[in-house]
Amino acid sequence: MANQLGMDKSLAIKQLCAAGYSQRRIAKTLNVSRGAVRRHLASNGSNSTKAQTGSEVLAQTGAADSNSTRAQTGSAVAPSPELAGPQRLSTSTCEPFRAQILEMLELGLSAKRIHQDLVGEHDFGGKYWSVYRFVAKLQEKSELPFRRIEVDPGAELQVDFGTGARINLADGRHRRTHVFRAVLSHSRKGYTEACFRQTTEDFIRVLENAFWALGGVPKTVVFDNAKCAVTTADWYDPELNPKIVDFCKHYDCAFVPTRPRTPRHKGKVERGVDYVQENALKGRQFDSLAAQNEHLFKWEANVADTRIHGTTRKQVKAVFESVEKPALGPLPSQRFPFYHEGQRRVSRDGHVAVKRAFYSVPPEYLGSDVWVRWDSRMLRVLDRQMNVIATHLVQEPGKFSTDRAHIHSHKISSVEKGIEYFLGKTRRIGPAATRWAEAVVASRGIESCRVLQGLLSLCQKYETAAIEAACDKAWRSNTLNYRALKKFLESDKEARQETMEFMDSHPIIRPVSEYEEFVHQSIQGN
């Protein structure tokens, strides 16, 4: 500004401007910034505040240049009499092409491209830097004022974290804390709680405590894009943490992240965090987290609630009790069911590991990433669309929970299928085989599975009638083992299945000697 310059330089700027010097040339001559020259001329009402190219000078340029070389920092510039003539304001060589330049800017063209098109299509004779400065001047925008937005009662709760007071531990060490602040946008009623971490679980816990302390649920919760709540930040379609989505469904509210790197979108709570840090916690230390939260609870009731807010000019507690609290949504009958969750990859055996226990999933998810949620009793496995694909009771470390429906049919052995499976297949052989098999099961119990499996394997080598005869003979002699049944079949030579023998010669089969000769001739030919 003008009062930041010495009187000598202030006078010199006025004189050089009256003499027709451009702002760039004045700044270079007096060794000051162009911004200082521009602000000085603007504050003094000069009509030459427009940035000039510096290429146009007065007719007496030679004399002015000789005098200007004597201007030094800290000394006034006395222009020569030749500069006392009438003032000539320089104009940009781009001014006649303003309309064309504006059209090109609307198309998103760069200054370099605009200069090329002006030279090639409009016979422009100026330099690139003239176009560059002219475009920069056209693109200058004045900053718009922020718009203050007020909302209806119960419509919005803004939340944020800040640095809390230090906790001094018994062993002489100290631990840092985070202070959570929630502010209802209409009444400015707040809730404050300190915690050690900013995990998703901690965020849900303190936000839920805020709902119950306020006695109701707002329609929307505005927060930034912290990782504890937002998995992928995006102004148009942010990806929320799945647990946050379930929390909002439980409390029937909406979670609205702000635009990334735009804290002013939750300006009420931004100032609210500062208020807590400056008024409630500054200069204080505590022996425990509980002691800090007890202090914050009393401060909220005795100081924050009773103050006259600087914007609304009303007492916070009075507005909250009379206007906003009745507008909040009802609290659910129960608090949000707390659970743990995490991403897991399905291993080669079709299980996922959670706290050193193992839980099966359907075979089609082998090698895929799934989402797992568990509490003290139940564990649920979800796919990428958050659909439940498996449910298990929580197991102790080292234990397996395997749903039989999750085992592929090719991976279930015949022994695992049980005795009834084998008896069903044995009944297809015939009544004698069925009678013998049932006698084996009644006599030997679970051991009969292998015996029945051996009986079925004999069908690949012997005819059904022979097997039926051998089973009848074994049943009548009360011989209930596989080896005896096999001997009965082997003793009957006619019981074997007929097999096709390979023929050594046939009219359509060439002798091996012809192939030998063919190979020999082929090798000799090469």
pLDDT digits (tens, 9 = 90+) for 40-96: 888 776 544 443 444 443 333 343 343 443 433 333 444 443 444 444 445 788 988
DSSP assignment of 464-501 equals HHHHHHHHHHHHHTT--SHHHHHHHHHH-GGGBPP-PP
Asked whether residue 170 carries a pLDDT value surpassing 80, the answer given is yes
Q: What is the overall mean pLDDT for the chain?
A: 82
The pLDDT value given to residue 503: 61
Question: What average pLDDT does the segment 369-382 reach?
Answer: 90
CA nearest neighbour of 253 among 181, 192, 330: 330
Write the CA distances from 163 to 193, 255, 287, integer angstroms: 11, 23, 17
CATH number attached to the domain at 156-327 = 3.30.420.10
Residue whose pair of structure tokens reads 């379609």 in the numeric block: 237
Kindly report which listed range (54-58, 105-109, 328-332) carries the lowest average pLDDT score.
54-58
Q: In whole angstroms, what is the distance from residue 371 CA to residue 345 CA?
A: 9
Question: What average pLDDT does the segment 499-513 reach?
Answer: 64
Q: Answer with the residue of higher pLDDT: 292 or 12.
A: 292
Q: In whole angstroms, what is the distance from residue 522 CA to residue 507 CA?
A: 25
Q: Which residues contact 47 (CB under 8 A, 6 or more apart)?
A: 89
Do 156-327 and 2-84 fall under one CATH topology?
no
- End-to-end CA distance of the chain, in Å? 100
Kindly report which listed range (97-111, 162-176, 501-515) carries the lowest average pLDDT score.
501-515
CA nearest neighbour of 207 among 158, 165, 151, 166: 158
Q: Residue 286: beta bridge partners?
A: 167
The pLDDT value given to residue 494: 54
Asked whether residue 114 carries a pLDDT value surpassing 90, the answer given is yes
Q: Answer with the residue of higher pLDDT: 229 or 56.
A: 229
Residue 337 near residue 357, CB atoms below 8 Å: no
Task: Please determine, looking at this structure, whether the domain spanning 340-411 carries the CATH number 2.60.40.
Answer: no
pLDDT tens per residue, range 233-267:
888 888 888 889 989 999 999 999 988 877 777 77
Asked whether residue 392 carries a pLDDT value surpassing 90, the answer given is yes
Residue 37 near residue 1, CB atoms below 8 Å: no
Q: Count CB atoms within 10 A of the CB of residue 51.
A: 17
Topology of domain 2-84, per CATH?
Answer: Arc Repressor Mutant, subunit A (1.10.10)
State whether residue 152 is helix, strand or coil: coil
Domain coordinates of the chain in residue numbers? 2-84, 95-138, 156-327, 340-411, 416-495
Most confidently predicted of 100-109, 236-245, 295-304, 505-514:
295-304
Predicted confidence band of residue 446 (pLDDT cuts 50, 70, 90): confident
Exposed/middle/buried for 194, CB within 10 Å: 0-12, 13-18, 19+?
buried
Q: Is the full-model pTM beyond 0.75? A: no
Asked whether residue 113 carries a pLDDT value surpassing 80, the answer given is yes
Q: In whole angstroms, what is the distance from residue 25 CA to residue 46 CA?
A: 16
The pLDDT value given to residue 225: 87
What are phi and psi for residue 318, nearest 5 degrees?
-65, -45
Q: Answer with the residue of higher pLDDT: 178 or 500.
A: 178
Asked whether residue 417 carries a pLDDT value surpassing 70, the answer given is no
